[in-house]
Structure 1
Amino acid sequence: MKKLILGMAIVASAFVFGQKDANALNVKLQEANKAAMDAYNAKNYAVAAPKFIEVYDLLKSSGQDNKIYMYYAGLSHALANNSDQSIKIYTDLVNSGFTGVETTYTAKEKKTGQVVNLDKATWELMKKNTDYTDFKTEQSKSIESDLYETLTSLLLNAKKAPEALAVIEKGLAKFPNSAKLKEAQTTAYLQSGNTDKFVAGLKEQLAKNPNDATNWYNLGVMQAKNPATANDAIDAFKKAIELKPDFSDAYQNLVYTTIGDDAKVVGEINALRKDKPDEASKLIDARRERFGKALPYAEGWYKANPKSLDAVSALKEIYVVTKNIEKVKEMKAKEVELSAAAK
């Protein structure tokens, strides 16, 4: 699964309460909001999160249930790798139907030309005040799909696939075209051990985006597990390499899928050598043919990752079976070199 990436620009809010007895609350709000903003902008997310919650609680005590600050808190917890706290906040937000859509009310002071933010009630009253003009409203975009996608990523990172699948199902009902949720669903199927749905999900994604090398590789990995679909796996790995020529892991899997269960074959050959030499010879010839087919993939693996001891050892073994003695010597020397460097 792709690494969770979070980030957003949090805009400081202005808190204004008309009543004189709200002065103390105003001061607390301004202090908590500034502390939260300063910590967030300094990337001190562990400090920012509880401060955003403090802002939310203070606003709620005055009758304003502004969940955007809980969203900021959940985001900060996620960025601070406080997974459990972030998951709880995001879950509460999703279940509450929070969308993040906010309407901003502004007016311009004629005397200074300054644009001020107002709450709706004050904005309506100020329309009668001739000292102000340019009364405007602006509505922010919904972040609901982001909530579902982020919560899903957090749950998958926490290895909570069943919970993630429940969120994904709910999210896809609202956002059926969300590529991120569809990708997360495929990952969740794999985490939960539902390989059939995982493969179906990969094929669905590849039908929409056939140029995704990683998904071709993942499909090949799953197909390689079943001898009946080994040839399909080889085709998938080849497609991954076609799209990403330096895809070392795809080359590696191509090598091993092409060769097959070599230990089993060697055991069968050894069991037949004495009593059925002709049958053993057929197996030997077939083995050599498979190694010959794997040779260009092994060479591609080595080219893509020349410092891989596994790639060098595999290539050496193939040269042994295909009887390329000079290349065997070359790979043996490379093995010694890499082994010494690893010490």
Structure 2
Amino acid sequence: MKKLILGIAIVASAFVFGQKGDVNAKLQEVNKAAMDAYNAKNYTVAAPKFLEVYNLLKTSGQDDKIYMYYAGLSYALANNTDESIKIYTDLVNSGFTGVQTTYTAKEKKSGQVVNLDKATWELMKKNSDYSDFKTEQTASVEPDLYETLSTLLLNAKKSNEALVIIEKGLAKYPNNAKLKEAQATAYYDSGNTEKFIGALKEQLTKNPTDATNWYNLGVMQSKTPATVEDAIASFKKAIEVKPNFDNAHQNIVYTVIGDDSKIVDQINAARKDKPDEATKLIDARKERFTKALPYAEAWYKASPENLDAISTLKDIYVVTKNMDKIKELKAKEAELKAKVK
């Protein structure tokens, strides 16, 4: 059985940087170094520089956590998981949202819109040379904090800690699809099968065209004899959405066939002393392979260059004794293997 497909990646948020007018030369120098390193994708250098900016501002009485956020993001992009987790955890626990207010006004003479700090903006309202005074708030980065921290914790194999963050995030953002996906992953990683299946079903109710979730649901259902037919139905759904989904094709075939190596051992053990029982087992095995045949043929049709599909179908033809098809697939198999050499 193939491993569940649950790929999750960290995605960098849009980078916004605001230079304050009252910073000293040292702060300007560190700001520039941080920005230059980030823009050059030298995240290992950028991260501590952003922390230095934050600490310099904090020393002067400005607790501007946006620079902590930039540092955490840079550490994440530099694959320094431990440092990134520390920063993101602090930010989440502090209630940081990253929302900032920008202040603008238009110069009447030039028509140019200028950015101002709040105090200057208030003063300029009395200046007849300026008009169109506006304020605007930036978007919150809080959902990104929860999403990224959850991903970092999951990648660090800290699924229980991730669940705490995910549940806290979902309490604030109950419709966040990324957190829902992370929750399902955390349930799976922590061995909470029932909740994992429940999370998959919930996601599929909202998005029934998610082939990966149908596949993952099928994988879980195939582990229990009572839900094997449900598993087959789930794999079929995955294939309906994504016709060339090799893993779903393969799993539906092997789910129908069952644990064939175990059956073969039983047949071999029964041949000597219980030939009648062996015959029954052989007939039942052939029946399962016959039932799996159309699924294997569909897989081969969807992926005619896939050696696994060819080999699986060939094995089924061996059991069902279709010699012409065996010969055809052996030739196809040899042709593809020759191309690989």
TM-score normalized with structure 1 length: 0.90
1:52 and 1:73 in contact (8 A); partners too: yes
1:6 and 1:75 in contact (8 A); partners too: no
Equivalences, count: 336
CA distance in 1, matches of 2:12, 2:141: 13
1:85-125 CA distances to partner (integer Å, 9 max, x unpaired)? Answer: 11111111000010111111233455665544333234334
2:13 and 2:144 in contact (8 A); partners too: no
2:204 and 2:210 in contact (8 A); partners too: yes
Matched, 1:256 2:254: yes
Which one of the candidate residues 76, 87, 92 is aligned to 1:94? 92
Letter in 2 for 1:2: G
CA distance in 1, matches of 2:128, 2:28: 29
TM-score normalized with structure 2 length: 0.90
Taking the TM superposition and a 5 Å limit, the aligned residue runs for 1:46-61 are 46-61=44-59
Which structure is richer in relative contact order (CA contacts within 8 A, separation 6 or more)?
2
In structure 2, the residue matched to 1:137 is 135
Shift of 1:49: 1.5
CA distance in 2, matches of 1:79, 1:303: 41
1:77 partner SS:
helix
In structure 1, the residue matched to 2:15 is 10
Shift of 1:5: 3.6
Matched, 1:73 2:78: no
Which one of the candidate residues 298, 301, 305 is aligned to 1:300? 298
1:148-205 CA distances to partner (integer Å, 9 max, x unpaired)? Answer: 1111111111211011001011111111121211111110000011111111111111
Matched, 1:42 2:78: no
Cα RMSD of the aligned pairs, angstroms, is 2.2
CA distance in 2, matches of 1:123, 1:255: 69
Matched, 1:82 2:87: no
- Gap runs ≥5 in structure 1: 18-24
CA distance in 1, matches of 2:50, 2:195: 40
- Gap runs ≥5 in structure 2: 1-5
Which one of the candidate residues 52, 63, 77 is aligned to 2:61? 63
In structure 2, the residue matched to 1:222 is 220
Matched, 1:239 2:237: yes
1:141 partner SS:
coil
More deviation, 110-119/234-243:
110-119
1:15 and 1:29 in contact (8 A); partners too: no
CA distance in 2, matches of 1:58, 1:119: 19
Letter in 2 for 1:68: I
Identity within the alignment, %: 74
1:16 and 1:118 in contact (8 A); partners too: no
In structure 2, the residue matched to 1:313 is 311
